[in-house]
Structure 1
Amino acid sequence: MSDIYNSAPSAYEFPLLIKQLLNRAKTVSLDQEIIYADKKRFTYKDLFARINRLANVLADLNLAAGDVVAVMDWDSHRYLESYFAVPMSQYVLQTVNIRLSPEKVLYTINHAKPKVLLLNSEFAPLVKDYQFENSSIEHIIWLDDNDVTVEGVFGDNQGRVIGEYEALLDAADSEFDFPDFDENTIATTFYTSGTTGDPKGVYFSHRQLVLHTLTEAASLGMLPNKQGVSYGDVYMPMTPMFHVHAWGFPFTATMTGLKQVYPGRYAPDTLFDLILNEKVSITHCVPTILQMVLKEAQDRDASFNGLKMIIGGSRLTEGLAKAALDQGIEVYTGYGMSETAPLISLTDFSIGEPERSEEEDISRRCMTGKPVLMVDAQVWGSDNTPVGVGKDNTGELVLRAPWLTQSYFKNDDAGTELWEGGYMHTQDIAYMRPDGYIKITDRLKDVIKSGGEWISSLEIETILSLHPAVDDVSVIGIPDKVWGERPLALVVLKADCQDTSSEDIRAIAEQAVTRGIIPKYGVPNDFKFVDELPKTSVGKHDKKVMRDRYASAAKS
């Protein structure tokens, strides 16, 4: 065979590493701005120097390749810098979900075993009570926007704090030579809020994140300018950076060199001010955040002037979509999950497409969307074979794409079930229309999704069942105009406890919140006393019957 088919000996075997995402912006976007709320403004040129400085700070900590560096922060420029400096240095970035209950936050830290923690002072009280003698954390980098001192929080434990973030960066060298290495090296991990039991750590390699970033840019770039992304856009996340890389957008925005705005802690007035003052043109969020900023705009009698907004995490309802469009938001749906990095599908728009009625347009925007580039989406029956298209052919949505997680962090065996039959199982019940639109109709597990966060019905049931008056209990999700879903507790009282009030039952859930066992949003809004709970033929709670019965009551 001719040598013409062999690669040249001097050819560069270009590994798909996160550092390659910076190549274009380093050439063309040096003067573009990055803003952190009302606290800091700097350029991409500064960003690249700051990434190098953070890498030098970490290099002085005697870490080994593969060590975990955790971040507990609001959406900030610091988070953006860690997205690059940490994995580019061959460490694993853990983005800590600070919305989990304190007990679960500490579980994720104990499980991932980070050597370094970048800690916002607002979360320091939680870490202060951590048992440091048993901790993997060797170094804490202090992050602060409120003049909170380390001494005032940590006392005698402050010895692990190596310094304040900005001071450490100021003292570090602004040059750093990031090496090439295997593109399959783990880059990031974060923990799902979990359907049952403890959170699971999802992880992604450099190769997966680069491919996801390229696909996100290409898929959004294929949309008309009114919905898609262009080089003149201004990006701001309204989905936390600790959750699925803020849907991958910080990587995409940095790769393309967009002006970026990071809002810190989400507050409706701050978000709206930044949207107006910085001319934010593209964002993403869950329906709850959309409702909050809509109310803020309505209170000010102001418009969003064509802000492009992708909704995920919970279903976008037709009513909310119409309200957003009326307020000047070009809203549409994206679908994904923690295990998919997350982008899988988007609402489809085309130049010159046939005119639709308002009802048809809104319905299209609220569907799960069509698969994005490089995604193989199928609907399978219980025998793990495709069931075909059309609403009469429902089954589990299964996926293939080059950026889907292969397993769970430090739990490789879990990947076997996740990838049974060679496709990732979403546990979402769906059908696919002939035109490729995916319609999710139900979930395999009885998990409740409230404001973009999972609530385990089994976990809440276990807690409520501990009340001495409870004979049987089931928790289901019912529709909620604000949060998408909220838990409803259906309780059967013991015969000699019929005078027990709902507030008595609620108290045990509130105690679990105080003890850090469940998050506050896990407490059911309503408690209904019933004589008996519907059961299946094998004696299990029939939650489908319950949901059908009480969902219609909630809508009426």
Structure 2
Amino acid sequence: MPLRFAEPATEAYRFPLTIRHLLDSALTTAGDRRIVYRDQGSWTYREFAARVGRLASLLEGVGAEQGMTVAVMDWDSHRYLEAYFAIPMMGAVLQTVNVRLPPPQVAYTLNHAHAEILLVHRDFFPLVDAILPSLPGIKAVIAIMDGAEGELPPYAKGEYEALSAAASPDYPFEDFDENALATTFYTTGTTGNPKGVCFTHRQLVLHTLTCNAPFGTQEGTGFGYSDVYMPLTPMFHVHAWGVPYVATMLGMTQVYPGRYEPEMLCRLRTEHKVTYSHCVPTILRMVLDAADATGADVSGWTLTIGGSALSAQLCEEGRRRGMRLIAGYGMSETAPLVAVARIRPGTEGDEAAEIEALTATVPAPMVSARIVDEDMNDVAHDGRARGELVLRAPWLTPCYTGDAKASETLWRGGWMHTQDIATIDPDGYIRIRDRLKDVIKTGGEWIDSIQLEELVATAESVAEAAVVAVPDAKWGERPLAVVVPKPGAAPTLDELNAPVEKAIGAGAITRYAKLERFEIVDALPRTSVGKIDKKLIRANLAEMAKEVTAA
């Protein structure tokens, strides 16, 4: 029998899943709620909607049209939120520029995305001065002065607020195909230039709806209409994990902190009673240190931690301060959320069991997750067997733009390959054990670098730790710890190995994990989004080894 289809009324509205419709209910139910920018001002949702219309009008005035890429270089702000909506709503493509990349890579991403209009904060004028001659496709630059006085750059068409004030709020947004591209941004890999990922309106709307689905199903694991939201993930990075779209759809009070300054973050959190944020572990560490320095109260603050593993130690530290920390999992290619923590039923109140669950994740609705071997055969869901995590969901990027070979590798066998080694237990809890490129292969055994560095980090004298593989003539590879000591401390190899040996004795880790070497550094290198840069650590260690050999 052939498939049957509904026969809609002649005038039935064919509702496209486009970003414009995320605003519909918020303007009805939360029109007087406010969107705050630092200590500089706030706007109601109705005013925000008018500013979205003005931004679209001013962009049209400088040549923007459907299909064109409009790039943004700004700190986390109400302006960035306006761009999240106005640019895709008019049918253009929003490029969120990673301003922390080296200038040649910033220029590469702008050229590769075919950006033609650029909105740029004054803090990045020197960067644009340096790279603009290498950007032949840029037709217009809009300067964001952010309240400061001063001359505009000679290449600027005008200033954001002045042009916005003169533009019409009544831009005629229209419906179009929900499969049109809405956003693009670039993710850094282990080699070569950054790779471009892209998402359609349909994908971002489905991601927004699904991001909200796990929240509210269990007290303390997310946010809702009555919460106050402040992002602590850069808005250039995977749409600030997609949460600004969720917060706006729900009509939540939102607080945008601009440039991340620890004391300002604590002040905004206290003043506006922020209840929900999200960040990488590095930013959480920065917030905790700032709270200690300023005496700020962080109790009652829920944070989703992603980008890197949420360690049990950091989770316990936040809980002691009254925070609610929960792990989330995703990557640039997944928009990003695909899994989130959930307390196991029947373990509420058992602190050890809660921490164990909150540092793992379960697949979000509409996500299919498998762990597989190199031949794409399924690996047992017993919490012990390891394999690569592969995924399917309706919002995963379909390709790396302009890189067919990498796209085929990403989607080998019809599943998105995360390059993360994971286990899945019988209840569906996913625990990321390591990155494929970071697993240490020694003496025929695999050592999870994440597990080993969590053990090393529990040593009393250690503030931070990273573990990487170094070449070894006998074993192939051996683990090496790179540690940042606490002020005034002097770590020893015996001290670092004490928790490792305890874990070996308990059967939690292989005996090959015992350290033979470690290095002390003042700080661990970070990527542009705050993750520990193990690629750079390995390169630095290799260079040190060359120098020793040469000497």
TM-score (normalised: structure 1): 0.79
Map of 1:230 onto structure 2 = 224
Contact conserved, 1:370 with 1:437, CA < 8 A, in 2? Answer: yes
Residues 394-425 of structure 1: CA deviation (Å, up to 9, x unaligned): 11100000000000123344322211111111
Contact conserved, 1:25 with 1:257, CA < 8 A, in 2? Answer: yes
Map of 1:217 onto structure 2 = 212
Contact conserved, 2:216 with 2:223, CA < 8 A, in 1? Answer: yes
One-letter amino acid of the counterpart of residue 391, structure 2: L
- Does residue 418 of structure 1 match 2:418? no
One-letter amino acid of the counterpart of residue 403, structure 1: W
- Does residue 405 of structure 1 match 2:397? yes
- Does residue 100 of structure 1 match 2:94? no
Instruction: Please state how far the C-alpha of 1:320 moved relative to its aligned partner.
Output: 1.0
For the residue of structure 2 that corresponds to 1:441, the secondary structure is strand
Instruction: Specify every segment of 5 or more residues in structure 1 that has no aligned partner in the other structure, as ranges.
Output: 462-473, 484-501, 514-518, 534-556
For the residue of structure 1 that corresponds to 2:432, the secondary structure is strand
Map of 1:313 onto structure 2 = 307
Contact conserved, 1:288 with 1:482, CA < 8 A, in 2? Answer: no
One-letter amino acid of the counterpart of residue 119, structure 1: V
Map of 1:81 onto structure 2 = 82
Cα distance in 2 for partners of 1:4, 1:379 equals 36
For the residue of structure 1 that corresponds to 2:254, the secondary structure is strand
Contact conserved, 2:383 with 2:426, CA < 8 A, in 1? Answer: no
Map of 1:257 onto structure 2 = 251
- Does residue 20 of structure 1 match 2:21? yes
Residues 12-64 of structure 1: CA deviation (Å, up to 9, x unaligned): 22110000100001111110011000112111010000000001011112333
Map of 2:173 onto structure 1 = 178
Cα distance in 1 for partners of 2:129, 2:423 equals 48
Map of 1:207 onto structure 2 = 202
The verdict on how the C-alpha distance between 1:3 and 1:216 changes in structure 2, with shifts beyond 3 A counting, is closer
Map of 1:278 onto structure 2 = 272
Instruction: Please state how far the C-alpha of 1:148 moved relative to its aligned partner.
Output: 5.2
One-letter amino acid of the counterpart of residue 109, structure 2: T
Instruction: Please state how far the C-alpha of 1:223 moved relative to its aligned partner.
Output: 2.5
Question: Equivalences for 1:141-160 in 2 at 5 Å?
Answer: 141-145=142-146, 147=148, 149-151=150-152, 154=153, 158=154, 160=155
- Does residue 360 of structure 1 match 2:361? no
For the residue of structure 2 that corresponds to 1:129, the secondary structure is helix
TM-score (normalised: structure 2): 0.80
Map of 1:329 onto structure 2 = 323
One-letter amino acid of the counterpart of residue 364, structure 1: A
The verdict on how the C-alpha distance between 1:241 and 1:381 changes in structure 2, with shifts beyond 3 A counting, is same
One-letter amino acid of the counterpart of residue 175, structure 1: D
Map of 1:539 onto structure 2 = none
Contact conserved, 2:18 with 2:201, CA < 8 A, in 1? Answer: yes
Cα distance in 1 for partners of 2:4, 2:210 equals 33
Instruction: Please state how far the C-alpha of 1:9 moved relative to its aligned partner.
Output: 2.4
Map of 2:192 onto structure 1 = 197
Cα distance in 2 for partners of 1:102, 1:230 equals 39
Cα distance in 1 for partners of 2:484, 2:429 equals 25
Cα distance in 1 for partners of 2:485, 2:182 equals 35
For the residue of structure 2 that corresponds to 1:198, the secondary structure is coil
Map of 1:385 onto structure 2 = 377
Instruction: Please state how far the C-alpha of 1:530 moved relative to its aligned partner.
Output: 5.3
The verdict on how the C-alpha distance between 1:522 and 1:305 changes in structure 2, with shifts beyond 3 A counting, is same
Cα distance in 2 for partners of 1:141, 1:482 equals 45
Instruction: Please state how far the C-alpha of 1:523 moved relative to its aligned partner.
Output: 6.8
Name the Cα RMSD after superposition: 3.4
Instruction: Specify every segment of 5 or more residues in structure 2 that has no aligned partner in the other structure, as ranges.
Output: 440-448, 454-465, 472-476, 487-518, 528-532
Map of 1:494 onto structure 2 = none
The verdict on how the C-alpha distance between 1:62 and 1:482 changes in structure 2, with shifts beyond 3 A counting, is farther
Contact conserved, 1:56 with 1:176, CA < 8 A, in 2? Answer: yes
Contact conserved, 1:216 with 1:343, CA < 8 A, in 2? Answer: yes
Cα distance in 2 for partners of 1:108, 1:445 equals 25
- Does residue 374 of structure 1 match 2:358? no
Contact conserved, 1:139 with 1:161, CA < 8 A, in 2? Answer: yes
Contact conserved, 1:407 with 1:413, CA < 8 A, in 2? Answer: no
Cα distance in 1 for partners of 2:378, 2:131 equals 49
Instruction: Please state how far the C-alpha of 1:278 moved relative to its aligned partner.
Output: 0.5
Contact conserved, 1:307 with 1:328, CA < 8 A, in 2? Answer: yes
Cα distance in 2 for partners of 1:104, 1:531 equals 28
The verdict on how the C-alpha distance between 1:137 and 1:433 changes in structure 2, with shifts beyond 3 A counting, is same
Cα distance in 1 for partners of 2:66, 2:11 equals 27
Instruction: Please state how far the C-alpha of 1:133 moved relative to its aligned partner.
Output: 6.8
Cα distance in 2 for partners of 1:60, 1:276 equals 40
Cα distance in 2 for partners of 1:339, 1:349 equals 27
